[in-house]
Structure 1
Amino acid sequence: MKNMEKFIDQFFGPIALYMNKSPFFRALTEAFMKITPVTLGASILMIIGFFPIPAWQNWLVSVGVYNDFVAVQNATINALGLFLAYTFAYSYVKINAPKYNPLIAGVLSLSGFMILVPQQFMLFNVKEQLTQYPAQATIESVSTLNAFSSDYIGASGIIVAMFVGYLVARVYIYLNKKHFVIKLPESVPTNVSESLSPTFIAGVIMIIAFCLRLFFKFAPFFSRFGNIFSFITGVIQIPLQDLVGSPLSLILILSLANFFWYFGIHPQVVYSVITPIVMANSVANITAYTSGQPVPYLMFAVVGVACGTGFGGQGATMGLVISMITAKSKRYKEMFKLTAAPSIFNINEPLIFGMPIIMNPIFFIPMAIGPLLMGGIAWAMTSLIDLTKYNPTISFPWTTPALINMIFRGGIPLLLVGMVCLFVSILIWYPFFKVADKKALQEESGIEVKS
């Protein structure tokens, strides 16, 4: 273990030191930290609203408050890109050019981000002809809805928010240095002067955002995507089209999802590719099971649960949470208290953004190799133990811990697979956490951290 920690420290230490000194990564880390209260606050209501008991969720639906819990998720977790667009530009200016007002930079970044978001959606009023066979449907009317979709302002828009926040912050600092501002007499109140001074800068930033929007609307090749969000999604999805359908491909795709999430690209970009395959396999499993036949995609289903998000969320971070029980630094002792309960129900955004795990070189390896090891071991165990009693008709919400999911679907044998996977998750995360905890303890003690 000491040799492993020494290797991690020597190999990733210089990278971490560089990133800690980098204006970009320092601002990005602070920006993610500023989002943490939102995710922590939302996790309390999300646990209540999505508590993994079907009877409880059915009751919430019956009294008409389930959609209100969904509204909490849409306004918090599904708006992370929106928040990051503001906090990143704010933090970058605050750290690198504190003499300029970071609040204005954040607001301008937020405005630029919203300009790029698609804001019109077509609504089709369809009339079905059910009196004839086959049934037909005709479109009676088409209307336009002006709205901002959470598909773009949420976590799937994080990479765009990072780009916009960085671009706006750099332009804001540059133009301020060039005195591209409105100079008002000293007699003008300070709050009025600060509000009017960056008017020209705001105009330039809005023009840049507007031109970028038009670029993805009219430019050859890029216009096929329609907007910058779809461009990023499309470019990432294209190489993934042929990687689905088997346990091995599922393991690779989940590993790729972790890899993207580490760099701030939401795993939904990857999941959108495999969702049709997963749904088709699930239907085939249910059909075979109810017909008394063997489940055809048993290994695919077991591997999906074993290396999916059931062990604390994306990245199987329950192993990290359990590792934090041994924390010696105050930072990670408090982080454990804040993130343990949400992680049980697979809500790990507070952990992803609060540690942070995103863009943190110390945690790159466990994020990348988790599904490879956990999925591979689960795949191997399916040929060693009897899983013929696996019941694919049982379905739980995404907040259900994997061990509960496994014992209900496959009994003790599948629970054994889950316990082994959880143990592997702890082994993966523990040595890397010890390195992070050691550095945090040194910083708290005032000891200079050596690269």
Structure 2
Amino acid sequence: MEKIENFLNEFIGPVATYMNDSLFFSSLSEAFMRLTPITLGGALVLLIGNFPIPAWISFLSDIGITAHITAAQNATMNALALFVTFNFAYIYVKKANYEALSAGLLAVAGFLILMPQNYQLFDMAVVPESFPSQVVVNEVNTLTAFGTNYTGATGIIVAILVGWLIGLLYVFLNKKNIVIKLPASVPPNVSESLRPSILSGIILVGFVLIRIVFTFAPVLSEFGNIFAFIGGLVQAPLQGILSNPFSLIIISTITNVFWFFGIHPNMVYGVIMPMMLANGIENQNAFLSGTALPFLTFAVVGFTLGNGFGGQGTTLGLVASMSCAQSQRYKQLFKLAVVPSLFNINEPLVFGMPIMMNPIFFIPMLISPLFIGGGAYLLIKLLNFTEFNPMISLPWTTTGIVTALLQGGWKLLLIALFVIIISTIIWYPFFAIADKKALEEEKA
């Protein structure tokens, strides 16, 4: 344990400190955290429109409400890249102590400049008499629009790059005083709105040039736009890696080890959240179109390894074990920790039991993702589970049993019960050791 602790303090500790102090990583993490009102608010609307009762869904479709639910989907989950762009630039510049609202608006403008905007609409007629049948194009019209295929999951990486680049340029140009300076007699709201005019023009011209490069450059023009370029070379491979359930098990194990040493899980999730979010949105779009979910296994294994079972480390099994406590110490701690744990808040256990830096509990934190994630993966195959509803997105404080019942019916509920049972089996022997030690101390 001392060797592991020394290793983490020497190598992981500085990395954690760097990421917490980094303007890029701290701004990116906060940018995604501030999406919570959009994701939870949108989830409520989608829950109403996709509640897992077939008769209800058919009723909404028959009376024409489904189209409006889809509109809510497009305005929330399928517009997250826009919100990320604004948030990232705004927070980045605000942390650098400059006027940030203009930076956020510039980021949205730059993001939209890079997007494809012309779409062709074909007025077609089918000739059924011919064999094979033919399609006659009567007219081709051009529509100027921004497609939700780029404002949602596909645009997440571009949104991060745009938000960061504009935040960086905005701060740099402000430091160089490339701004309009007005007398003190000018009202502050007028001064603040006019001050960044010059640097705004410079930044937006730069983004127009980036768009032109992707149109005329010999290699880049094959992609057509930066979204297709990033999607093909960066985002798709990363999403593919994270869609593998075994990669989720590894990530969860690393996160558990960090949490054992007091490093908050957000350090890891802040880095991988863009890809996890993109996978989830693609599942939602597939569900709406009636096709198979591309990241079904990812979603279910991620659910079992997530916060729904007591918090990071699946500590609901530890709380269940504590119900059999013999020592007064853990009997009282059980009373204090059981309610927060049901809502996936396990800081009282991590810092109060404590789990953190306690050698007794290192092994269950290390091995629980392997047994839980691996077992869930096998159950998905054995149960032939496909009835997952990704449209139902509940707050992280919702207990896993409720989430399972709403998102996947009895099969996912069975998987959730498996998680709780396995978690209890893993945690109980180690808790028994700690409880026995505490009881002996109390008797002494």
C-alpha separation in 1, matches of 2:280 and 2:220: 21
Question: Structure 1 425/103 Cα, relative in aligned 2: closer, same or farther at 3 Å?
Answer: farther
Residue 135 of structure 1 deviates from its aligned partner by: 2.2
1:158 partner letter = I
C-alpha separation in 2, matches of 1:314 and 1:231: 34
Secondary structure of the corresponding residue to residue 146 of structure 2: coil
Residue 12 of structure 1 deviates from its aligned partner by: 4.0
2:296 aligned with 1:309, yes or no? Answer: no
2:76 aligned with 1:76, yes or no? Answer: yes
Within the candidate set 124, 133, 155, 2:122 is matched to 124
> Does the CA-based 8 Å contact 1:324-1:336 persist in structure 2?
no
**Matched ranges for 1:392-431 at <5 A:** 397-399=389-391, 419-420=417-418
> Does the CA-based 8 Å contact 1:225-1:231 persist in structure 2?
yes
C-alpha separation in 2, matches of 1:395 and 1:134: 38
User: Which residue of structure 2 lines up, in the alignment, with residue 223 of structure 1?
Assistant: 221
Stretches of structure 1 lacking an aligned partner (at least 5 in a row): 283-300, 340-365, 430-451
Give me the TM-score of the superposition, normalised by structure 2.
0.64
C-alpha separation in 2, matches of 1:208 and 1:108: 12
1:262 partner letter = I
C-alpha separation in 2, matches of 1:270 and 1:43: 12
Question: Structure 1 253/131 Cα, relative in aligned 2: closer, same or farther at 3 Å?
Answer: farther
Within the candidate set 285, 308, 323, 1:318 is matched to 308
Secondary structure of the corresponding residue to residue 32 of structure 2: helix
Give me the TM-score of the superposition, normalised by structure 1.
0.63
C-alpha separation in 2, matches of 1:27 and 1:79: 20
2:140 aligned with 1:148, yes or no? Answer: no
Considering Cα pairs closer than 8 Å and 6+ residues apart, tell me whether 1 or 2 has the greater RCO: 1
Secondary structure of the corresponding residue to residue 299 of structure 2: coil
2:210 partner letter = L
Residue 102 of structure 1 deviates from its aligned partner by: 0.9
User: Which residue of structure 1 lines up, in the alignment, with residue 274 of structure 2?
Assistant: 264
User: Which residue of structure 1 lines up, in the alignment, with residue 25 of structure 2?
Assistant: 25
Rg comparison, structure with higher value: 2
User: Which residue of structure 1 lines up, in the alignment, with residue 134 of structure 2?
Assistant: 136
User: Which residue of structure 1 lines up, in the alignment, with residue 348 of structure 2?
Assistant: none
C-alpha separation in 2, matches of 1:152 and 1:125: 25
Residue 134 of structure 1 deviates from its aligned partner by: 2.8
User: Which residue of structure 2 lines up, in the alignment, with residue 170 of structure 1?
Assistant: 168
**Matched ranges for 1:293-304 at <5 A:** none
User: Which residue of structure 2 lines up, in the alignment, with residue 183 of structure 1?
Assistant: 181
2:106 partner letter = L
Secondary structure of the corresponding residue to residue 308 of structure 1: helix
Question: Structure 1 92/417 Cα, relative in aligned 2: closer, same or farther at 3 Å?
Answer: closer
Secondary structure of the corresponding residue to residue 274 of structure 2: coil
Secondary structure of the corresponding residue to residue 108 of structure 1: helix
Residue 377 of structure 1 deviates from its aligned partner by: 3.8
Any idea what the Cα deviations from partners look like across 1:267-301, whole Å, max 9, x if unmatched?
6579989x99xx9x98xxxxxxxxxxxxxxxxxx9
Residue 187 of structure 1 deviates from its aligned partner by: 2.8
> Does the CA-based 8 Å contact 2:388-2:407 persist in structure 1?
yes
> Does the CA-based 8 Å contact 1:93-1:173 persist in structure 2?
yes
Question: Structure 1 26/78 Cα, relative in aligned 2: closer, same or farther at 3 Å?
Answer: same
1:34 partner letter = R
Residue 216 of structure 1 deviates from its aligned partner by: 1.4
User: Which residue of structure 2 lines up, in the alignment, with residue 437 of structure 1?
Assistant: none
Within the candidate set 187, 198, 201, 1:200 is matched to 198
C-alpha separation in 2, matches of 1:425 and 1:214: 55
Range with bigger deviation, 203-212 or 34-43: 34-43
> Does the CA-based 8 Å contact 2:153-2:282 persist in structure 1?
no
Question: Structure 1 324/205 Cα, relative in aligned 2: closer, same or farther at 3 Å?
Answer: farther
2:272 partner letter = Y
C-alpha separation in 2, matches of 1:104 and 1:421: 47
Range with bigger deviation, 46-55 or 125-134: 125-134
1:137 partner letter = V
Instruction: Give aligned-pair identity as a percent.
Output: 38
Q: Give the number of equivalent residue pairs.
A: 355
Question: Structure 1 416/191 Cα, relative in aligned 2: closer, same or farther at 3 Å?
Answer: closer
Range with bigger deviation, 260-269 or 54-63: 260-269
Stretches of structure 2 lacking an aligned partner (at least 5 in a row): 253-267, 320-332, 346-364, 393-402, 428-444
C-alpha separation in 2, matches of 1:72 and 1:200: 37
C-alpha separation in 2, matches of 1:398 and 1:270: 7
C-alpha separation in 1, matches of 2:306 and 2:58: 28
1:265 partner letter = M
Secondary structure of the corresponding residue to residue 126 of structure 1: strand
C-alpha separation in 1, matches of 2:95 and 2:43: 29
Question: Structure 1 172/216 Cα, relative in aligned 2: closer, same or farther at 3 Å?
Answer: same
